[in-house]
């Protein structure tokens, strides 16, 4: 008799508890059971985000930079993501409104803000080497490649600094190398905990950043030296924008967006280099003279064999200098590898999945139908919007808030009483160039249908296409009126064209 039946007969309650326990065991994750033929045992299962990064240090960043400098695929991925986030440059549109329930955009204030901003954004950083749009792309690329980048906000009077515009505000751009990894202190020097160069409070909030006074890579003598407080300068956290790419909660420093695909990209680089060399060798046609072991060679023939037997091949040539028992055979090559293209495509799909980039963009293959390309665009767009929104929150918004505040305090921006002061720093930051199109006619028809159905506004459609609504309206007013289309101006129908032919 079955044991379970016996238990149910003796004690139904005991049988119920046994069945319930058995069900719990079955619910355990298979991945949680490690065995010889199962999953790899994770090396650091309970390490915090900072502990994991302490093991990696700057190795991931250095590897990502190496690929960016030497691998075309890595360059294409970073270019693709930067184009998706920034485009040719962000468009900053002030959105200051008047007060009251029916607050509308206050055009004089917005126009003045736009004028001040355009002047300021010509050369906003302290070295005057980069324009504002160049800074946007450089910051975005450093953020994605290095995992983090820092912006030091310099306001008002600063010793030795001459601000570019009438608004007393400049930016100092700092690479991740300037914040030391090995500066870890537990309330000894400052009374606060320092993790990887970031001084933190009791609730783990950043209080200050300890930067090198000079880039450690400027001199070979400075690289690799353990950071000490004498070599560093302390900058308050409220004066720093730490733009970092994180994957976990409590992660003090950022990690490159390429972290999951670095090994794959490096392997692809080695594979492609090996295939190129093999194809280059295969392109050099080579022949070999084979000899039969049974050939009866005389003394003169043996001397000929020992001599240089190389010869140049040309069309119509006859190999009449062969000795008895010799033959000429061409060394065959299996290159180029016919399976390489599809294998490489699969690897690039995995890279696109791991980085959020578009496969078509990084592979430069656009051989799909409209539906497939549209599906790829639809799937990638939320990813691009998420990265763009995160970048604008960390980089663009803090700069705009400080700029508006200093424009008001310096007297450059009048503030009439009718303004809604809560909207004084409101701004619409968007990518220039707009959303890419696959079929312009279909996209325009969809926009017109959305406007007619009151699902969006005409001004919002112009913004998404990368334009300035006020500038577009002003240009439309300058255009001559369009003449109504007549029958003579209409394009001929297909049957009329056939009859004319």
Q: Output the DSSP codes for 409-428.
A: HTTSS---TTB-GGGTT-EE
Report pLDDT for 401: 95
Report pLDDT for 176: 95
Task: Say if residues 295 and 325 touch (Cβ distance below 8 Å).
Answer: yes
Helices (H), 12-128: 12-26, 49-56, 59-70, 72-85, 107-120
Mean per-residue pLDDT, 351-365: 86
Higher pLDDT, 274 or 4: 274
Q: Return d(Cα 244, Cα 146) in angstroms, integer.
A: 9
Mean per-residue pLDDT, 85-89: 86
Q: Which of 166, 162, 136 is nearest to 151 (CA)?
A: 136
265-270 long-range CB contacts below 8 Å, 24 or more apart?
Answer: 265/67, 265/71, 265/73, 265/74, 265/351, 266/63, 266/67, 266/71, 268/73, 268/344, 268/347, 268/351, 269/67, 269/70, 269/71, 269/73
Upper half-sphere CA count for residue 394 (Cβ side, 13 Å): 22
pLDDT in tens, 312-348: 667 766 666 666 667 777 767 677 777 888 898 899 9
Q: How far is CA 263 from CA 349, 364, 426, in A?
A: 15, 22, 43
Mean per-residue pLDDT, 188-195: 79
What token pair was written down for 67? 């690929």
pLDDT in tens, 272-283: 888 888 888 777
240-270 exposure pattern, b = at least 16 Cβ within 10 A, e = fewer:
bbbbbbbeeeebbbbbbbbbebbebbbebbe
Task: Say if residues 411 and 76 touch (Cβ distance below 8 Å).
Answer: no
Q: How far is CA 142 from CA 255, 258, 408, in A?
A: 11, 12, 32
Task: Say if residues 108 and 60 touch (Cβ distance below 8 Å).
Answer: no
Per residue, the 3-state secondary structure of 202-259, as one string, reads CCCCEEEEEEECCCCCCCCCCCCCCCCHHHEEEEEHHHEEEEECCCCCCCCCCCCCCC
Report pLDDT for 295: 57
pLDDT in tens, 424-468: 999 988 876 655 566 778 888 888 998 999 888 888 888 777 677
What token pair was written down for 397? 């918004």
pLDDT in tens, 109-121: 999 999 999 999 9
- Helix (H, G, I), strand (E, B), or coil: what is residue 161? coil
Burial class (CB in 10 A: 0-12, 13-18, 19+), 237: middle
Which of the four pLDDT bands, split at 50, 70 and 90, describes residue 494? very low
Report pLDDT for 300: 54
Whether 74 shows a pLDDT value over 90: the answer reads yes
Most confident of 63-77, 94-108, 372-386: 63-77
Q: Which of 365, 400, 359 is nearest to 379 (CA)?
A: 359
Report pLDDT for 172: 96
What token pair was written down for 131? 């324009």
Q: How many CB atoms lie within 10 A of CB 103?
A: 15
Q: Which of 335, 318, 331 is nearest to 290 (CA)?
A: 331
Instruction: Please list, in sequence order, all residues whose beta carbon lies within 8 angstroms of the beta carbon of residue 140, skipping any fewer than 6 positions away.
Output: 81, 82, 85, 86, 391, 395
Higher pLDDT, 407 or 91: 407
What token pair was written down for 43? 């090396």
33-65 exposure pattern, b = at least 16 Cβ within 10 A, e = fewer:
eeeeeeeeeeeeeeeebbeebbebebebbebbb
């Amino acid at each position: 008799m079955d044991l379970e039946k016996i238990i149910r007969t003796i004690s139904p309650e005991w049988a119920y508890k046994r069945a319930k326990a058995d069900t719990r065991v079955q619910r355990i994750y298979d991945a949680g059971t490690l065995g010889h033929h199962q999953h790899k045992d994770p090396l650091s299962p309970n390490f915090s985000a900072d502990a994991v990064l302490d093991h990696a240090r700057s190795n991931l960043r250095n590897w990502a930079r190496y690929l960016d400098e030497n691998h075309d695929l890595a360059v294409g991925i970073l270019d693709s993501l930067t184009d998706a986030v920034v485009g040719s440059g962000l468009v900053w549109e002030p959105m200051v409104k008047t007060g009251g329930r029916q607050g509308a955009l206050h055009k004089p204030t917005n126009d003045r803000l736009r004028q001040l901003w355009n002047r300021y954004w010509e050369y906003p950083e302290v070295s005057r080497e980069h324009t504002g749009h160049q800074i946007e792309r450089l910051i975005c690329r450093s953020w994605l490649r290095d995992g983090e980048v820092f912006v030091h906000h310099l306001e008002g009077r600063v010793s030795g600094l001459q601000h570019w515009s009438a608004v007393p505000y400049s930016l100092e751009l700092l690479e991740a190398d300037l914040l030391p990894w090995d500066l870890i202190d537990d309330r000894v020097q400052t009374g606060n905990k320092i993790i990887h160069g970031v001084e933190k409070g009791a609730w783990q909030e950043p209080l200050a950043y300890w930067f090198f006074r000079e880039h450690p890579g400027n001199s070979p003598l400075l690289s690799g030296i353990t950071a000490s407080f004498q070599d560093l300068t302390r900058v308050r956290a409220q004066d720093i924008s730490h733009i970092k790419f994180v994957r976990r909660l409590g992660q003090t420093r950022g990690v490159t967006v390429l972290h999951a695909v670095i090994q794959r990209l490096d392997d692809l680089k080695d594979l492609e280099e090996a295939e190129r060399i093999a194809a280059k060798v295969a392109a050099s046609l080579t022949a070999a003279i084979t000899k039969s072991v049974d050939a009866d060679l005389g003394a003169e023939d043996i001397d000929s064999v020992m001599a240089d037997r190389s010869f140049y091949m040309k069309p119509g040539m006859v190999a009449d200098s062969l000795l008895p028992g010799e033959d000429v055979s061409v060394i065959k090559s299996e290159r180029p590898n016919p399976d390489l293209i599809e294998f490489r495509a699969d690897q690039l799909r995995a890279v696109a999945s791991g980085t959020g980039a578009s496969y078509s963009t990084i592979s430069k293959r656009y051989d799909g139908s409209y539906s497939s390309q549209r599906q790829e665009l639809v799937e990638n767009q939320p990813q691009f919007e998420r990265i763009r929104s995160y970048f604008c929150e960390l980089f663009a918004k803090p700069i705009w808030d400080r700029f508006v505040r200093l424009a008001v305090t310096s007297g450059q921006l009048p503030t009439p009483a009718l303004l809604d002061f809560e909207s004084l720093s409101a701004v619409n930051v968007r990518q220039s160039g707009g959303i890419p199109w696959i079929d312009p006619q279909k996209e325009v028809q969809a926009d017109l249908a959305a406007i007619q159905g009151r699902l969006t506004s005409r001004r919002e459609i112009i913004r998404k296409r990368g334009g300035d609504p006020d500038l577009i309206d002003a240009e439309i007013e300058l255009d001559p009126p369009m003449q109504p289309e007549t029958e003579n101006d209409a394009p001929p129908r297909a049957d009329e064209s056939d009859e004319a032919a």
